Structure 1
C-alpha cells in the first residue's frame, strides 16, 4: 500500500474510532444522569461506575475539554449539549464561593470532599475553559472565569523562587514549596490555548514565563532531559529528583512546537526535536514496543510498565512533526505509533486498556474518566496531520 493510501486509511480509522465508538460509549456510560456530573471511572468489562465516591474538578475539566473539542470538530448536537452540561457542572458545583478558586473534589451527594487548591486542577480548568470559549456559546462567561482563575493562580500560588506551588489549603495556605514539573506543563498548555482563543497578551506573557522556567529549571541541557520533582532551591535532589517520565518528554515536545507558532519563537523547535528523539531512543522499549512509565536520569527503567497516556502523547508529537514537514520519513513514526495504540490498547467498541505490563499484558480493569482527554487529543492531532 502506498504512503498516500496508508495515510488516508489511518485517518478514516482514527475518525471512526472517535466518532462511532469512543464518544458514543462515553456519552452513554460516563454521565451520572441520576445525580450529577461525570463518573470518575467505569468497570472495563461491564461499564458500570466503580471506584471511590468522589468527583474531581480536574476530571470535570477534562470532560469539558473532551466535549468542547468534539463539538468543535464534529459539530454533533449531543457533543454541544454535553459541553454545555460540563461547563455548567464545573461552574455551579466546583467553584469555592468562600475562598475563591476551585475545590479539589466533591462527593456524589454534592458535599465537599476535599477543598484543597490544586495547581494541576486549576491548570486543566483554564485549558477546558479555553476550548469551551472556542464554541462561542457562553464565550464571555468562560473567558471571564479563565481570567479570574489565572489571576488567582498568580496571586495565591506564585512563589518567590519563580514557580507556582503545587497545592495550597482550602484557604490558600502553602506548605510545600518545591517545584513540580507536571502542573507547570499543563498551565503552559492552557495559556497557549487561551492565547489562541482570546488574543490576550496576559496569556502570552504567562506562556513566555513558563518557557523561561523550562529553560532555567525544568530542562537539563546535558543530557537534555526534563525532571519531574525539584527541591525548594529548584534542584533535582533525592529519589524523586532522579525520576524522568518519557511521556512528558513527548508531551513537552508537542507543546514547544505549539509555542513556537504562538510565540513566534523558532528557537523552541530544536528543543522539541531533541525531546522527541530522547523519549524514543532512551525512554521507549525497542524490543516489545511502547514507552516506559518512568526511567532514571541514567536512562535505567524505573517502571517498565506502560500506561496509555505516554503512547498517546507520542502519537500526538509525531503527528505535529509530520504536519510541520510532511514526508515519508516523518509519516513512518506517526503510523507506527498509531498502529501500536490500536493493536495494544484501543478496542473496537471504544474501550481501552489503561495500563499494560512491560510485555503488553493488561494490568487494570477500569476506564478512568481522565483518559479520554489524552485519547481524543492524540487522534485529533493525527486527523489534522493526516489531512495534510
Structure 2
C-alpha cells in the first residue's frame, strides 16, 4: 500500500512551517534588522550573514513588516518589536512629501529613488493591514486609508485603471 499523499503533504507543510518560525524568522530577527539605522536589510550574505546591498527597497520593508506581524501572531520572540521598528522606518523615513512612499532608500534612510510605484504601494497597504491586525493601532488604519486616498486621487489613469508609477 502506498502512503497517502495528503499525509505526506501535511508532514511537509509542518516541516516548512517549523523551519519558517523556528529557523528563518529568528535568523532574520537577529541579522536582518538594521537596529542602528532603521528598517531591514535587503539580503544577507550566505557566508557571514552580513548585508549584501547598499540600499533598502520599500517592497522588502513592507514584506518584512508583514512577515514579522505573522511571526508575532504565532508567538515568535521579538517579532512584534521588529514590526514596530519597521513601521517607524516606513512612516518616518520612506514617506514621500507629496504622498505615498518612495521606492528605494540608502542604508541610512535617505531617498535614492523618489518613485511612487503602485506595486510597492500595494505591499505597503498589505503591511499596514497586517500590522493593524496585530496591534489594533488606529494610526495604522488611518495611514492605510490615506494611502488608498493618495492612490485613488494621484495615481488614477485618465483612460481607466491606475498609472504604474509616479513620476
The aligned counterpart of 2:112 is 113
Distance in 1 between residues matched to 2:23 and 2:32, nearest whole Å: 13
Distance in 1 between residues matched to 2:125 and 2:165, nearest whole Å: 16
The aligned counterpart of 2:156 is 158
* Alignment RMSD: 1.7
Larger Rg, first or second structure (1 or 2): 1
Report how far residue 10 of structure 1 moved.
2.0
Figure out how many residues of one structure are paired with residues of the other and give that number: 165
Q: Does 1:147 align with 2:145?
A: yes
Distance in 1 between residues matched to 2:6 and 2:120, nearest whole Å: 41
Do 2:59 and 2:124's aligned partners in 1 also have CA atoms closer than 8 Å? yes
Distance in 2 between residues matched to 1:113 and 1:8, nearest whole Å: 44
Q: Does 1:125 align with 2:124?
A: yes
Find the residue that maps to 2:41 and give its secondary structure: coil
Distance in 2 between residues matched to 1:17 and 1:77, nearest whole Å: 15
Report how far residue 64 of structure 1 moved.
0.7
Unaligned residue ranges in structure 2 (runs of 5+): none
The aligned counterpart of 1:16 is 18
TM-score (norm 2): 0.90
Distance in 2 between residues matched to 1:77 and 1:40, nearest whole Å: 22
Distance 1:105 1:7, change over 3 A: closer
Report how far residue 158 of structure 1 moved.
0.6
Distance in 1 between residues matched to 2:107 and 2:101, nearest whole Å: 17
Distance in 1 between residues matched to 2:25 and 2:41, nearest whole Å: 15
Distance 1:163 1:4, change over 3 A: closer
Unaligned residue ranges in structure 1 (runs of 5+): 170-388
Report how far residue 21 of structure 1 moved.
1.3
Runs of 4+ in structure 1 off by over 6 angstroms are none
